[in-house]
């Protein structure tokens, strides 16, 4: 049994200033604004274009905001968990770079690569660390610079993704609010449908892998769509059943922002009113590991202490799951 209960005590976020609109993409690939909106719900996405800036830059900005809101000294942070598939480098971990830039010199950290489910997995891991009694303050960050691995000549993927970062501070709960349950899954059979083939030990970087565009995201949309809706629906229903909750008791659903059609299909299946579903895909696109914390960042002022939140996500590999927690503070 858990010794302590873990809770989110602050939220921070960051998106780059540069906007890539659907009208910009019309000039780059064979597509148009109406088609993109009807298929995805996306109107624009943010792109980090500053020379020498990478995922850690966005993550540090998001983390600084969370720490400032909470009044937490970076020296009190004990662990930094960075969910990302676009690390600054293959190694060292981007989490260590983030800790250095924050001045969190007492922290250790690691990267977690579960694609779009990364923040979900990282949040669960951080909460379990705190529940164990071993740690008191942990930063969980979801960040991706997807523009660095997107082929802007591939209209099936370039319309979907954007750059951004979101961060939560986890602490021991002061009452009974906080992390309650998680249902997480993985299935390696899905790797064939959503992956980036090049750059790993299986297919090391070479002139041939660059020529073949193996260092860009590949996605077979139809099987991904079906698996995403099924996986998130099943995981969410498992959470509800396991905690004797009804759908009516949910205050907010925080879904991965992959595609508006996926979000609508999922919430229709779950019979959740649209006003209870956090959505910002129209402005940011799919920021991969950053979508869930960026939703919290956008909706934070609407959250009330005790609100029941269901997080759910689906990512390449395949990875998916749901988390149930109660909000620990009045954001206003």
The residues carrying an active-site annotation are 116, 256, 286
Q: Look at residues 86, 96, 137 and name the one whose alpha carbon lies nearest to residue 116.
A: 86
Beta strands 79-83 and 108-112 are parallel
> CA triplet 110, 82, 71: central angle to 5 degrees?
110
**Which secondary structure element, helix H or strand E, spans residue 79, and what is its range?**
strand 79-83
Helices (H), the chain: 22-26, 33-40, 55-70, 94-102, 118-131, 155-158, 207-211, 221-242, 260-270, 281-284, 291-299
User: At what angle are helices 260-270 and 221-242 packed, to 10 degrees?
Assistant: 30
Residue 322 tokens, joined: 């749901």
Cα distances (angstroms) measured from residue 144 to each of 119, 207, 229, 268, 300: 11, 25, 22, 29, 21
Contact 287, 137 (CB under 8 A): no
Q: Which residues pair with 10 in a beta bridge?
A: 169
Place of tokens 């109660």: 326
- Preceding omega of 183 cis (within 30 degrees of 0): no
Contact 77, 139 (CB under 8 A): yes
Contact 18, 181 (CB under 8 A): no
């Amino acid at each position: 049994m858990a010794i302590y209960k873990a809770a989110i005590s602050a939220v921070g976020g960051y998106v780059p200033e540069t906007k890539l609109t659907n009208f910009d993409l019309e000039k780059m690939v064979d597509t148009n604004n109406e088609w993109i909106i009807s298929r995805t719900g996306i109107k624009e996405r943010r792109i980090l274009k500053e020379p020498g800036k990478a995922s850690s830059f966005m993550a540090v900005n998001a983390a600084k905001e969370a720490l400032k809101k909470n009044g937490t000294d970076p020296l009190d942070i004990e662990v930094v968990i960075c969910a990302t598939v676009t690390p600054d480098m293959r190694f060292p971990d981007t989490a260590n770079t983030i800790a250095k830039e924050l001045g969190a010199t007492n922290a250790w950290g690691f990267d977690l690569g579960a694609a779009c489910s990364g923040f979900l997995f990282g949040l669960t891991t951080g909460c379990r660390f705190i529940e164990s009694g071993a740690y008191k303050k942990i930063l969980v960050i979801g960040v991706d610079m997807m523009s660095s691995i997107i082929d802007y000549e591939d209209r099936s993927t370039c319309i979907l993704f954007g750059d951004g970062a979101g961060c939560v501070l986890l602490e021991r709960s002061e009452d009974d609010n906080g992390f309650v349950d998680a249902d997480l899954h993985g299935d390696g059979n899905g790797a064939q449908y959503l992956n980036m083939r090049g750059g790993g030990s299986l297919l090391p970087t070479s002139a041939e892998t660059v020529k073949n565009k193996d260092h860009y995201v590949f996605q077979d949309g139809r099987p991904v769509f079906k698996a995403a809706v099924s996986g998130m629906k099943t995981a969410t229903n498992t959470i509800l059943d396991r905690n004797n909750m009804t759908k009516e008791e949910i205050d907010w659903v925080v879904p991965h922002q992959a595609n508006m059609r996926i979000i609508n299909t999922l919430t229709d299946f779950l019979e959740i009113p649209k006003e209870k579903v956090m959505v910002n895909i129209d402005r940011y696109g799919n920021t991969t590991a950053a979508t869930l914390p960026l939703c919290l960042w956008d909706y934070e002022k609407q959250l009330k202490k005790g609100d029941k939140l269901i997080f759910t996500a689906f990512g390449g590999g395949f990875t998916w799951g749901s988390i149930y927690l109660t909000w620990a503070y009045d954001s206003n």
